[in-house]
Amino acid sequence: MAALPRLVCASGVALVVWAGFCSAVCVEVPSETEAVQGTHMKLLCISCMKREEVTASTVVEWFYRPEGGKDEPIYEYRKTNHEFPSRFSGRLQWNGSKDMQDVSITVLNVTLNDSGIYTCNITREFEFEIHRPLFTSSRLIHLTVVEEAGEDFTSVISEIMMYILLVFLTLWLLIEMVYCYRKVSKAEEAAQESATDYLAIPSENKENCAVPVEE
């Protein structure tokens, strides 16, 4: 009976380690949600990573839903790439990786009518000796297409801070130059006053001011 708590504890630790491992290898990167008319827009979709030694078959389905409309298939990967007839015909490009961890697509020459919701459905079947588990996941991308690129708020703040820093450095440099100039001027005035005082002393007084040398 004493071995039972140890077994339960060991199983719990193994479960935590396995859960941590699984969560560490599944990386989700959000896609950009704004595109500029006439540019290319990559719709990013990352699936859970898999070990290379485990064989798996992956099916990827992309759907598009206009505002107030229904989902319509636009692209599919099932061993080969297939583009469905739609408003995107000839404007979709596969950007998936060889290991099928990245299953993204790119919309070429984005138009204002391309705004809407894009759905990326991933179905992955792992092929083990005993069983074939099936995993599915889905990503939603709310894309908005604008006519012109708006200035990023972060870049505006960065430019303002840069100008403030430039003005501060310029003022600091001017203050340092004025301080150094006054310091040098005072030193020169003191030196001139000392030289004038020395020249004003009579010759006999200068000889008396000399320090006698002891033999």
pLDDT tens per residue, range 141-155: 999 999 887 666 566
Looking at the DSSP bridge assignments, the partners of residue 126 are: 56
Q: To the nearest whole percent, how much of the chain has pLDDT over 90?
A: 35
pLDDT band, residue 192 (cuts 50/70/90) = confident
Residues 101 and 125 in one domain: yes
Residues 167 and 114 in one domain: no
Could you give the CA distance from residue 90 to residue 108 in angstroms, rounded to a whole number? 8
**The total number of structural domains that make up the chain:** 2
The answer as to whether 192 is a domain residue is no
CA distances from 89 to 67, 108, 109, 165 (A): 19, 10, 12, 50
Range of the domain at 172: 150-180
Residues 140 and 156 in one domain: no
Q: Is the pTM of this model over 0.75?
A: no
CATH of the domain at 122: 2.60.40.10
Q: To the nearest whole percent, how much of the chain has pLDDT over 70?
A: 71
Q: Does residue 90 surpass a pLDDT of 50?
A: yes
Residues 70 and 172 in one domain: no
Residues 169 and 130 in one domain: no
Residues 85 and 158 in one domain: no
